[in-house]
A and B are shown apart, each in its own frame.
Chain A
Amino acid sequence: MISIAGIPTLETARLVLRGPIAGDAQAFMAFYRSKRSNMAGGPLEDRESWQAFAADFGHWALLGFGRFIVTLKGNDEPIGLAGHYAPHSRPEKEVGWVLLDTANEGQGYATEAAQRCIDHAWQVLGWDTFVSYINSKNDASTRLAERLGAVQDANAPQPNTDKPCLVYRHPRPEMAT
């Protein structure tokens, strides 16, 4: 199996955030078939979600950062996506997160993954500022963003003016290096 060299693996207390592999395509497509994906641009036909999955690899290859596959320690199956997202023409860099299955909600996994990615953005990627774009109906994600200290920025440019979303800006930690 071909993979991209150089994608780091990030760990938290309970999670491993790793680079995508070809075998993750099935979990990715299954998520985008589900109603749950309507908070993340879905639902999508398999051919569309496969291309989006392929583009995630290309995002890593072109920019050197991207979205990680979130797994539980000791189990390599994907439970979510979290990471750094800045495809061409987006007004700002984003940290995003999604859990693939409701079964894994309510346990703080998304918070844990998102916090790790936020730290990585400040400390390793050296980003100056970044946001999270959240569907206004996605209460779970807005609560999560607020728990992480992010603040809604009503003046921030929208990534898709046809479908406005909430823009949460992450405050720079005082001790960020």
Chain B
Amino acid sequence: MIPLVPTLETERLILRAPNEGDFEADVAFYASERSHGFGGPLSREQTWRNLATVLGHWIIRGYGFWAVDEKSTGLYCGHVGLWSPEGWPEPEIGWAVQAQAEGRGIAFEAALKARDYAYDKLGWSTAISSIVPGNTRSIALVRRMGATFENHYEHPSYGQMEIWRHPTSDALKETA
């Protein structure tokens, strides 16, 4: 009964449907300080519910977060994908990568693949990433993707967020 989630592949990564096997790693991530820019911290109960919401997002919207595995080690690295729940300012490219996957460009590689999927398969013309101010790693990543700071907005739960605007689909085609 897993919703239809396409499996994607990059040089080093597999992007696949999230599943219950990821749960303990997700619990550890959402219990840690790392999760503060990503809606955390969350209890075990909330983390399970978050996993359920991630799967439901795929069914309702037709896109969502992938679970990312490193091919060479099989290491589960976290969630990267496309996110637009009710009340979100615009469809976004998002990531929440675990500590063990940090510093090797894994989120960057997966986020580029997710953006290509949004532009090439879903027909998005533009995309944002919303980032908690001060999340310097995510800001460095989004800059590396060619995005530029657009403005701030106030999320009712997460507080102030920065909106970063990715190059449009057309702009990427021109530079390709």
Contacts and interface: CB of A to CB of B under 8 A. Distances in A.
Q: Do A and B come from one complex?
A: yes
Contacts of A54: 52-57, 59-60, 85
Interface residues of A, number: 29
A5 B4 CA distance: 9
A62 B19 CA distance: 7
A50 B62 contact: no
Interface string B108-136: 00000000000000000000000000000
A88 B55 contact: no
B86 A47 contact: yes
Given A4-B3, A7-B1, A88-B44, A55 B49 contact: yes
Contacts of B62: 2
Given A2-B4, A61-B2, A50 B85 contact: yes
A168 to B, nearest CB: 22
B154 interface: no
B58 to A, nearest CB: 7
Interface of A is mostly: helix
Nearest to B86: A50
Given A55-B56, A58-B56, 20 more contacts: A2-B3, A3-B59, A4-B1, A4-B3, A22-B60, A25-B60, A25-B86, A45-B87, A47-B87, A50-B86, A53-B56, A53-B60, A54-B53, A54-B57, A55-B53, A57-B52, A62-B48, A62-B52, A88-B49, A89-B44
29 contacts: A2-B3, A2-B4, A2-B59, A4-B1, A5-B1, A7-B1, A46-B87, A47-B85, A50-B85, A50-B87, A51-B53, A53-B60, A54-B56, A54-B60, A55-B49, A55-B52, A55-B56, A56-B52, A57-B52, A59-B52, A61-B1, A61-B2, A61-B59, A62-B19, A62-B55, A87-B45, A87-B49, A87-B52, A88-B44
